[in-house]
């Protein structure tokens, strides 16, 4: 299972990213997928910051999640999204 954040393919054109969840180069994700296959890795989280984010999501309340999203600005990451045209 491959769990990437935003990949720089044009599909996510205009999306705002930050240091924790940067826009990933397509070549980088391809390299990581090949590496994961070679290591018989069943789940690939890219970037690695997705791991702690998923753990936190499972242990904190929905209200806390919404507050963190609001404070971090992640809930506005798609405001400037235009996508591929």
The answer to whether residue 82 is domain-embedded is no
- Here the tokens at position 79 are 């405001």
State the Cα torsion 27-81-43-72 to the nearest 10°: 120
User: Count of domains in the chain?
Assistant: 1
pTM above 0.85, yes or no: no
**CB count in 10 Å sphere of residue 77:** 19
Q: For residue range 35-63, what is the model confidence (pLDDT) as tens digits?
A: 999 999 999 999 988 899 889 989 999 99
Q: Which domain holds residue 16?
A: 2-76
Tokens representing 46? 């890219």
* Residue 23 per-residue DSSP state: P
Residue 83, domain member (yes or no): no
Q: Is 84 within the bounds of a domain?
A: no
Answer whether residue 11 is part of any domain: yes
In a domain, 36, yes or no: yes
Q: What are the pLDDT digits (tens) for 11-20?
A: 888 888 887 8
């Amino acid at each position: 299972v491959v769990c990437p954040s935003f990949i720089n393919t044009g599909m996510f054109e205009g999306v705002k990213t930050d240091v924790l969840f940067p826009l990933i180069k397509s070549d980088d994700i391809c390299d990581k997928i090949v590496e994961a296959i070679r290591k018989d890795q069943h789940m690939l989280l890219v970037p690695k910051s997705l791991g702690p984010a998923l753990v936190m999501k499972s242990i904190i309340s929905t209200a806390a999640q919404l507050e963190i999203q609001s404070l971090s600005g992640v809930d506005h990451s798609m405001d400037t999204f235009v996508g591929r045209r």
